[in-house]
Structure formats: structure tokens, C-alpha cells
Amino acid sequence: MARRRALDFEEMLFSQGFGTRRDCRDLVLSGAVSWEGRVVEDPFEEVAPEGKSFLVNGEEWPYFEKAVIVMNKPSGYECSAKPLHHPSVLSLLPAPLRSRGVQPVGRLDEDTTGLLVLTDDGAFQHYLIHPKHHVPKVYRAVLKYPVTEEFIGRLLGGVVLADDPAPVRAEACEQSGDREVLLTITEGKYHQVKRMAAAAGNRVEALSRIRFGALSLPAGLKPGEWDWVRSRSAITGSKA
């Protein structure tokens, strides 16, 4: 088993996004930080924080060397650190998560809602979005016209999008309502679900992602809210 790396409190707070090292030192010296039921007094006291939590101004924060979180993305937000027309989903996060560089894994359109994964782990982000890993994403699409067997057959068989001569197909597609389907894809092309539906002869009126890999949108997580993903296997479906 790998030895857990010891950090002093200043370094630990800095790694978790609580400002500059001086800011983090001042947090400790002001009595704002608690650890295992006691107020921390020495910013240079060493601890092994992995798997534990601390308090800052009474708010509990679990320690993660790299953060992975899930958000229920509301409509009207862009998945960009530099949004053009609407506020960024990052504005819905607390300052420490923004400071440590958490970014969306892939992008949902401004009017697309539902499950969004964010992380500050670049390697894990690359793994999740690289096409060779075939990480499935499941969307609930409300359509303009009634669902037909022909429409589903086209999506499963493959449709051609304007920017790619190679057919793009859904991994799975099932009807979930008169004008609604659950569509599974493993790629992340621009406006992919909307463009696939249009190429198959219909139009997406509303779109929501309900699953990313093995992770489903947590019950009770309201639009704009977020939560920690405490195990990466919750997304990858494996312990690797």
C-alpha cells in the first residue's frame, strides 16, 4: 500500500483552493480551520488528509488530491470558463473549487440540462472524453414529432453529419414516450444528439443527460446543485 503523503495545514488548504499560501496560513491563524474536532492553531502542523474532512468557517470539506464532482446543469449556462452569451456553469460552484481549476468534462449546450461531470484531474478528464474508451453517455431527448421505428432504426444504423462522411450511430436507442427517446452515444461531437436526430428526420425540442458512464444523475440533486463523486469507479464502472 502506498504511504499517504503528509501535508501541513497551509499546504493542504492551498491544494484545495482556499487562496494563496498566505491566505491559507491566515485562515489557520484566525481560528477558521478545524480538524478532527479541534481548532487548528499551527499552519505548519503536518497531517495525512487523504480520506478525511476538515472544517473552514464551520463548513465541512472532504479532502481530495484531485476533485471530481457531479452537477445537475440547469438551462441557460455555458460549459466554458470564458462564456460568450450566458453565465458559466463554474459560477454555480463555490470559490475553492473554481480556484483549484475544476473544469467540465466535455460540454453540454446552453439549453441542455442534466448530468455534468467536472474535475481538476486532466488525465482523468482525457480518459473520459477520449473516443477510444467508449464511455457511454445517455440522453433523454424530447422530439418535435412522434417517434417511429424508422427513426430509431436510422439512429442505430448510423446517420451522416455535415462535417464527417463517416456514419455516426447510437449505441442504444429506446422509446420512452410518444415523442421521447433515451439515446446512448460514446462520442462527443458538436451538437451531436441534436444533429443525429435531425439527420434521422426529427428535431430535438428538449435535451437532458441522465447518465455519464456508470454514473446516473443523483436523485434529489436539483438544477444548479452539485455533489462530490467520492469514487471514480462510480463513473468508470471499474476499480481500475
Catalytic residue among 8, 26, 109, 111: 109
C-alpha pair distances (Å), 234 with each of 6, 213, 215, 229: 27, 8, 6, 7
Under a CB-based contact definition with an 8 Å cutoff, are residues 65 and 4 in contact?
no
Query: Cα–Cα distances in Å, from 207 out to 4, 37, 40, 78, 196?
Result: 43, 45, 47, 15, 13
Distance between CA 200 and CA 222 in Å, rounded?
32
Q: What does the radius of gyration of the chain's CA atoms come to, in whole angstroms?
A: 21
Tell the residue number behind the cell numbers 503528509, with chain if given.
6
Asked about 109 being catalytic, the answer comes back as yes
Which residues are designated catalytic? 109
